[in-house]
Amino acid sequence: MKLQSFTNVWDALTDSPADSATMTLRSDLLIVLQQTVTGWGFTQAEAVRRLGITRPRLTDLGGGGEGHHVLARCFGQSCD
């Protein structure tokens, strides 16, 4: 088996450079969003109201869960 090296984890996990770029953008945005929400110092109730999402979605963001649902909503995409 030949050892492969990638500059980005998404290059290894996706089928195309476009998919890799999309996933890189999404993961970078999730990191910034999580840092921003944490920096607000709001309660969860205040944060979900401000973001227009449900509490479970906020928990996903904060716990490293499926934050892609939030980004999919922002981009008007399916959460598949």
Note the pLDDT of residue 46. Answer: 93
Note the pLDDT of residue 74. Answer: 62
Note the pLDDT of residue 59. Answer: 80
Supply the DSSP string of 24-72, one letter for each residue.
Answer: HHHHHHHHHHHHHHHHHT--HHHHHHHHT--HHHHHHHHTTS-THHHHH
- State CA 31 to chain mean position distance: 7
Please state, in angstroms and rounded to a whole number, the distance separating the CA atoms of residues 9 and 65: 18
Per-residue pLDDT for the chain (80 aa), expressed as one digit of tens each? 899 999 999 999 999 999 999 889 988 888 898 889 889 999 989 999 998 988 888 887 766 555 556 666 666 655 54
pTM above 0.85, yes or no: no
